[in-house]
Structure 1
């Protein structure tokens, strides 16, 4: 399989950074994936032509790395005679210190929270802690499950794999109408609607298409049967798609806060230190999550269903946080 130019450059960086002394062109050609290696079966003319092609490619790669700021050092030493080598000094290749603004750290926090629970979750959280370590803001009390009911989960990652493999999955599912039950599903597609992930697939036990909200999947998802066991339909019935429930809400927002919400609404009144903003929404649960994510800088006033949902989720999150 052909190696892309980007992958070849990355392989070259890794090889030169891990070289204890230096690497010659012959060593680079023989060990770095992406370059055309010498073949003893070639005749002399072919061997010379291929070597010239490699040297032109390596020179272009070397120049490109230097333009990108990667310090590729030419190593000349009398002990090696005319044989020139190359290496990258790790001390010179370090990135400058990162300095994030408060807004940039907030974006990183949202990204790390969304990836919470999946393979990259721990790495994302550790990177966020390092990036925000210079922040002078006091740490906020963590409210698990309060700010976002739509973070990417292990269930999402495994169902995506099952969709690609066309393999059935089994999971425990909590439904408001039927309680908790085991579902065996042939997954067709994952859709994002109102900030929530939905799985659309064929429920094997019920022998009918169904829609499942992935945040209601309990425990682990397991793969069943053989890959390639089914073929998803070309068109999905519109009745299976998550329905939007549009409406208009009134929110109380602190000054200089929640700019994304403000930009979608209109300030219609004030209440002391609060601005009263009227905003249209398509999914109530998405607006509830946005209110909760502001950590007290936004209050839900109307409709009552939204205000009740915000309070219920906040209370439940505090109970979880306090054990």
Structure 2
């Protein structure tokens, strides 16, 4: 079985940190898992791989030194622990899982180097971090809640460069072109949002990343002013709370007989009513959390049908279409 690149890099770091002298390429090929797998490959293939690995470590900020030991003509490599030392780090189990989950989210080659550098440094320093395999399900869910990696990469790049962006915003009723001066990307209640100054509405606006597509830079660098006197987390939380309810709005949902028990527990009124010949009930549910209500309806499947309001019904249908499309491409 071949060794993955991240594991090979980690093995290389550990070897070079542990050595008291320069380690030759020949030694690495014979003793480091990841290079030992290259049996039957040419010397040139190994040398190219080693050069790429050393360069990648250096780009991560890991100081790989080149030199020769006394009485030796062979070039070797090492990493001085003092130059690479991390302060003492102790992570609780949930914190270690969070670090690995954050790294697992970033699968795109242009972004993964950032997160994988952090995990590589933690593991090389002896800090236990959950493996990617342990977080396969978690990372999949996190990725879906964030939207596409090209979206988050484009927004983060624009935020760093202080540039405005254009993008397509998907809503239950259609797709709209938007212009935004992005200030930050914020996580809230399991979802991710971009917040900034909406140039079309001349106001602060928050957009869920899973509904953002086609991000493109729309100004020169340094043209966006990010206010320093506002709490972005608080602004996003207020926007999400407002969108999720608190207005006294009520949804009416048809439920099949003896089905949709979670939704029934949320109901303030229940009236027996058939739908297309199927026995069931119509329930009234106060919309305290719009996203939670949508999830509950989706989980009930064909046993739940949103009747009103129209925008909630459209949102559920759009989410069902998205799930069907996602399943079709697997």
User: Which band: TM-score by shorter chain?
Assistant: 0.3 to 0.5
Larger Rg: 1
Higher relative contact order (CA 8 A, sep 6+): 1
More helix, by proportion: 2
Query: Normalization by structure 1: what TM-score?
Result: 0.43
Query: Normalization by structure 2: what TM-score?
Result: 0.42
